[in-house]
Amino acid sequence: MDTELLESQTYLPEEQEQLATVASFLDAHHSKTGERPERRYFLAGAEEHDQIEVPEALHRVLVQAVAALAAGKAITISPAMPKLTTQQAADLLGVSRPTVVRLIEAGELAGERIGTRRKVLLKDLLDYRETRRQRQYQAIADTAVEMSEDEDPAVVNERLKRIRKQRAEQRRRTTDH
């Protein structure tokens, strides 16, 4: 992807007539269709079947851009990595907010402090979640034991205890460093 597209860009109003046509189409479309439960928007190319569906969020961006440009205003698009509050991060991970704060303070989850608040980059949170999932899957695989019908459950239970103890020791060693 062109790195220029990921930097802030300001667009000045030009071609007022074309913008007015697009704004007029959007107004007419809204008036005609009202509030249907499912709206679909497409970006069309020059060829007959050259089109792609546009997500509603992108459609709202385009509508806002066209309205601002048609009103003679400049618009600036500034791509940024989404930042989440600790509560949003906790909701995504399925843990409490204090747990997220503890993870940040322990250095397990990257976060930044803005004034008195902490923020977490969405990318960092998704990376942490994937790493945590892989550790969980590995723990399940490590504690899986083959058991036959004639095997004593007490012996299997002892084997599982040893495995859990080893896993706990491994976790302590990795968090102590």
Q: Where are the domains of the chain?
A: 3-77, 81-144, 146-177
As a whole number of angstroms, the distance between CA 58 and CA 83 comes to: 19
As a whole number of angstroms, the distance between CA 169 and CA 175 comes to: 10
**What would the pLDDT profile of 77-101 be if each residue is shown by its tens digit?**
877 778 999 999 999 999 999 999 9
Fold classification of 81-144 (topology level): Multidrug-efflux Transporter Regulator; Chain: A; Domain 2 (1.10.1660)
**What would the pLDDT profile of 106-127 be if each residue is shown by its tens digit?**
999 999 988 889 999 989 999 9
**Segments of the chain scoring below 70 in pLDDT:** 1-16, 18-19, 33-39, 143, 145, 147, 174-177
SS3 145: coil
As a whole number of angstroms, the distance between CA 137 and CA 25 comes to: 52
As a whole number of angstroms, the distance between CA 111 and CA 101 comes to: 9
